[in-house]
Structure 1
Amino acid sequence: MRKSSSTSHTGIPGGPNYVLRFVLVAIACSVVVCYPGLLRVVLRLVSPGSHAPRFRPGYTYPRVTVGNITYEGLSLASYRQEFFGGIPYALPPIAELRFRRPVAYPQPAQHRILSSQYFGKQCMQSTCNEDDRKRTSEDCLTLSILRPTAVSAAHPLPVMVWIHGGGFHAGNGNYNGSRLVGRSVFRGTPVIFVSLNYRLAAWGFPQGVAAHDEGILNLGLRDQVAALEWVRDNIRAFGGDPQRITLYGESAGAISVSMHFFNPHSASLFHRAIFISGAPTTMPIYPPMKRGPNFAQFASQSGCTNASTILECLRSAPVDTLLKAHDTVMNDPDVDLGIFSRFPWTPTIDGDLIPDDPRTLMHSGPTAQKPYITGCNLDEGTIFTPHWLNSSNDVQTLLAPVLGHKLARDLVHQYNNTALRSPYNLGNNTLDPIYGTEYTRGAAIAGDLLFHGPRKEMNKAGISPLRKHWAYHFTDDALVPHTSPSGVYHGITLGYFFGTVLEYTQRTDVANLVAEAMDYFVAFATTGNPNDARGQPRPYWPAYEESWIANLLELHSRGSSLTSDTYRWDQLEFLMRSFPAP
Structure 2
Amino acid sequence: MLMMPFHLQLRTGLLLFLACKVLAAPTSRSVSPSITLDNGTFEGTTDGVSNRFLGIPFAKPPTGDLRFRLPVPNDAYTGSHSVIAFGPACPQQGSSASSAESEDCLTLNVWAPANATSSDKLPVVAWIYGGGFEFGSTNPYDGAVIVNRSVALSEPVIYVSMNYRVTAFGFLASKEVKEAGVGNIGLQDQRQALRWIQKYIKAFGGDPRKVTIWGESAGAISVALHMVANKGNNEGLFRGAFMDSGSPIPVGDITNGQQDYDALVQETGCSGAADTLECLRQVPFDTLNSAISQSPSIGSFQSLRLTWLPRADGKFITNNPQILVKQGFVSPVPFVTGDCDDEGTEFAMPSLNITTDAETRDYFKTFFVPNASESQLDRLLTLYPSNITQGSPFDTGDLNAITPQFKRIAAFLGDFVFQAPRRFFLRERAGKQNTWSFLSKRLKSTPNTGSFHGSELLNAYGGGDLTDYVVNFINHLDPNGAGPEISWPKYDAKSPSPQLLTFLDGAVPEALTPDTFREEAINLAIILNFEDPE
Give the TM-score of the pair, scaled to structure 2: 0.90
Note if contact 2:124-2:210 (Cα within 8 Å) is conserved in structure 1: yes
DSSP 3-state at the match of 2:242: strand
The structure 2 residue matched to 1:97, chosen from 66, 79, 93, is 66
Measure, in 2, the Cα distance between the counterparts of 1:542 and 1:36.
38
Q: Which residue does the alignment assign to 2:456?
A: 493
Query: After superposition, where does 1:168-317 map in structure 2 within 5 Å?
Result: 168-174=133-139, 175-263=141-229, 264-281=232-249, 284-317=250-283
- What is the DSSP-based 3-state SS (H/G/I as helix, E as strand, rest coil) of the residue aligned with 1:291? helix
Q: Distance in 1 between matches of 2:88 and 2:55?
A: 8
**What is the Cα deviation at residue 36 of structure 1?**
6.0
In the alignment, what sits opposite 1:136?
101
Q: 2:132 touches 2:218 (CA, 8 Å); kept in 1?
A: yes
Per-residue CA distance 1:277-306 (angstroms, 9 max, x = gap):
01102xx31212211111221222122112
Alignment CA distance shift 1:185-1:286 (3 Å): same
* TM-superposed deviation, 1:57: 8.0
Measure, in 1, the Cα distance between the counterparts of 2:474 and 2:69.
Answer: 33
Aligned amino acid, residue 232 of structure 1:
Q
The Cα RMSD (Å) is: 2.5
- How far apart, CA to CA, are the structure 1 residues paired with 2:269 and 2:430? 51
Distance 1:553 1:43 in 2: 23
Work out the CA distance in 1 between the residues paired with 2:223 and 2:298.
Answer: 29
Tell me if the contact between 2:58 and 2:196 (Cα under 8 Å) persists in the aligned partners.
yes
Aligned counterparts of 1:82 and 1:413: Cα–Cα separation in 2: 55
Amino acid at match of 2:37: V
The letter for the 2-side match of 1:75 is T
- Kindly provide the CA deviation profile for residues 39-70 of structure 1, in whole angstroms up to 9, marking residues without a partner as x: 3344436879xx9xxxx982642111111121
Q: Which runs of 4+ in 1 moved over 4 A?
A: 33-38, 45-48, 127-130, 579-582
SS at match of 1:221: helix
Cα distance, 1:88 vs structure 2: 0.7
Unaligned runs of 5+ in 2: none
Q: How does 1:10-21 map to 2 (within 5 A)?
A: none
CA contact (8 A) 1:449 1:575 kept: yes
- Measured against aligned partners, the alpha-carbon deviations of 1:339-371 in whole angstroms (never above 9, x if no partner) come to 435x21011111121101111111114221110
Per the TM alignment, residue 541 of structure 1 is displaced from its structure 2 partner at its CA by 3.0
Partner Cα distance (1:457, 1:469) in 2: 13
Residue 265 of structure 1 deviates from its aligned partner by 4.0
* Alpha-carbon distance between aligned partners in 1 of 2:5 and 2:466, rounded to the nearest angstrom: 35
- Are residue 360 (structure 1) and residue 309 (structure 2) matched? no
Answer whether contact 1:144 1:194 (CA < 8 A) is retained. yes
1:265/1:353 contact within 8 Å kept:
no
Residue ranges of structure 1 left out of the alignment (5+ in a row): 1-32, 501-513
Letter paired with 1:413: T
Q: 1:86 aligns with which of 48, 55, 58?
A: 55
Deviations 1:281-338 (A, max 9, x none): 2xx31212211111221222122112522122222221111111111123699x98x4
Deviation at residue 157 of structure 1 after TM alignment: 1.1
- Higher mean displacement: 569-578 or 223-232: 569-578
Q: CA deviation at 1:549?
A: 4.9
Deviation of 1:540 (Å): 3.7
- Residues 405-427 of structure 1 deviation map (CA, whole Å, 9 limit, x = unaligned): 53444312212373421111323
Give the number of the structure whose residues are more often helix, by fraction. 2
- In the comparison of the two structures, how many residue pairs are matched? 511
Percent same amino acid among aligned pairs?
A: 32
The one-letter code sitting in structure 2 at the alignment partner of 1:471 is S
Identify which of 83, 87, 93 aligns with 1:120: 87
For residue 15 of structure 2, the aligned residue among 44, 58, 71 is 44
Q: Which residue of 2 aligns with 1:527?
A: 476
Pick closer, same or farther for the CA change 1:34–1:146 going to 2, 3 Å: farther
SS in structure 1 at match of 2:294: helix
Amino acid at match of 1:351: G
| Counterpart secondary structure, 1:203 | helix
SS across alignment from 2:381? helix
| Matches for 1:571-582 after TM superposition, within 5 Å | 571-579=521-529
Determine helix, strand or coil for the equivalent of 1:397. Answer: helix
